[in-house]
Amino acid sequence: MKVKNARNKNRLNNHEKLIRLVSNNTPEEYQTLLNDIDLMLLNNSDLKPDDLPWLNPDKHEENWEKVIRELRLIIGKFVYEKHKRDRVLH
């Protein structure tokens, strides 16, 4: 029983993973990143802003919210890896 509880504590939801991914950013940079991710989702699909669960929380079912949050995490990971690759250390 304790092993199961320990495993659950180590699991992060997708939003927490995204926050940890960009934890070195300022709050303004983080918000800009989230807005950019949302724009990528909207521009590359037939989605409208009302379709995003964090902008319209009462409209969507749980499975839809899970899929969209996972997409947001994936795009955030791509952006993070690109910035990491392009970063120059002095």
75 falls within a domain: yes
24-62, pLDDT tens digit by residue? 778 888 888 888 888 888 888 888 888 887 777 777 677
70 falls within a domain: yes
1 falls within a domain: no
3 falls within a domain: no
Spatial CA neighbour of 76 closest among 17, 11, 27 = 17
The parent domain of residue 34 ranges over 14-86
pLDDT of 63 > 80? The answer is: no
Q: How many CB atoms sit inside 10 A of residue 37's CB?
A: 19
**What pLDDT score was predicted for residue 74?**
84
pTM here is: 0.60
| The pair of three-digit structure tokens given for residue 38, joined into one six-digit string | 């949302």
56 falls within a domain: yes
* Residue 40 exposure: Cα atoms within 13 Å on the Cβ side: 15
The stretch 4-32 carries a mean pLDDT of 72
Q: How many domains does the chain contain in total?
A: 1
Q: Mean pLDDT, the chain, as a whole number? A: 76
